[in-house]
Amino acid sequence: MIVVKRVLAHSRSGECTLQALSTRKTRRRRGLIRWKRFHHLGMGVEYPEKVRWKCVRCTMCCQDTSMRKRCIRLLDEEISGIRAETGLKAEDFSIPFTHSPPYTHEMRKLDGRCVFLKDGLCSIYDARPITCVFYPFFLNRIDQELYRFELTPEKCVGLGIGHEVSEKQFVRLFNLATRRLKSEDDTEGT
């Protein structure tokens, strides 16, 4: 079983980030994450074991924090869905983003907050991007046949409370990712 220890690191600019250090230790200690694995669609998918999480509606995932500038990446399919939901033009809520294909845009922010955060609620909840659906996790491609759900670098205040996030929930998230990314692959060829 692979265990990852998250440690704080300070850059020269004084920015505080979390880094992961791999280790083979299996003892449960503070700061260690154990990974479980399932196989789906011919790929291995790892996810953190025994993580409890509940959204407490703090909106930290919708805005910049003192530790991190929030980057809500958007797929073309998500741009279309938000346009259909809101009637807005893509440039009204997003800016082009070319640093991380297949994402093509980044959500605009007002005063460091997502443009769709209204009165502490997401006004496009049903059409929200996969980046938002996954929070406080993100899907990292380890190699051609292995993906890993990792925790975002900043500590979500909902971690450690609520129900344990089950394998079934990670399978559902992985299915969503493969559907949306397949949709992106299908539109690239046309």
Residue range 58-84, pLDDT digits in tens:
999 999 988 889 999 999 999 999 999
**pLDDT (mean) for 100-120:** 95
**pLDDT (mean) for 120-133:** 96
As a whole number of angstroms, the longest Cα–Cα distance in the chain is: 53
- Number of structural domains found in the chain: 1
3-state secondary structure of 118: strand
Q: State yes or no: pLDDT of 106 exceeds 50.
A: yes
Q: What radius of gyration, in Å, describes the C-alpha atoms of the chain?
A: 17
Q: pLDDT averaged over the chain?
A: 83
- Domain hosting 14: range is 3-188
Q: Hey, how many other C-beta atoms are within 10 angstroms of the C-beta on 130? A: 22
* Tens-digit pLDDT profile for residues 148-189: 999 988 889 999 999 999 999 999 999 999 998 887 766 554
Question: What is the residue type of 63?
Answer: Q
Measured CA angle at 38 (ends 167, 163), to 5 deg:
10
How far is the C-alpha of 114 from the C-alpha of 63, rounded, in Å? 6
How far is the C-alpha of 112 from the C-alpha of 59, rounded, in Å? 12
**pLDDT (mean) for 81-88:** 97
3-state secondary structure of 184: helix
**pLDDT (mean) for 24-48:** 76
Question: What is the residue type of 163?
Answer: H
161: tokens are 């409370």
